[in-house]
Amino acid sequence: MGQAMNELFAICRTHEIDDEQPRGFWLAVKGENGKAKPWPIVITRKGNRFFGFENACPHTGSRLDSVPNQFTDAEGHFLRCGVHGALFDSDTGTCFSGPCQGRKLTPVTLIIDDGDVCITGIDLAEEDGLDLIEEEVPEVEIEQG
């Protein structure tokens, strides 16, 4: 049985996300067949504000951090797709440079609860997805609209 849609699910503590240092997490959501499927997300922070996005570039669906140490631009101000170099605002998720300019990362609603960074409204699977071996992780499929 998955999480109830209105329950909070704690991902990490607020102090675990440094200002302008995005951090990726693996969760698991229920797929159409009811089986758990991996769901990569990224959390960013600006001061006391936290922002969450699906960790999938709208250009190809590849994870933004699919190339090690390429999660941000050199100054750490923007999210960067390591594959094609697209740059995204770390608070709005809007791409302002690169092949998907004008498109947005899919937002994930975050709630800060007593020092925890939480999500809600997502039908999570019991398995958390964190034990996936890197080679087994599929690309995230982006539906073209």
Of residues 120 and 134, the one with the higher pLDDT is 120
The answer, yes or no, to whether residue 127 has pLDDT greater than 60, is no
Burial 98-112 (b: 16+ CB within 10 A, else e): bebeebebeebebee
Give the domain ranges of the chain. 9-130
In percent, the amount of the chain with pLDDT more than 90 equals 55
On whether the pTM is more than 0.85, the answer is no
Q: What is the pLDDT of residue 112?
A: 96
Q: Which pLDDT tens digit goes with each residue over 74-111?
A: 777 899 998 899 999 999 999 999 999 999 999 999 99
Domain over 9-130 is classified CATH 2.102.10.10: yes
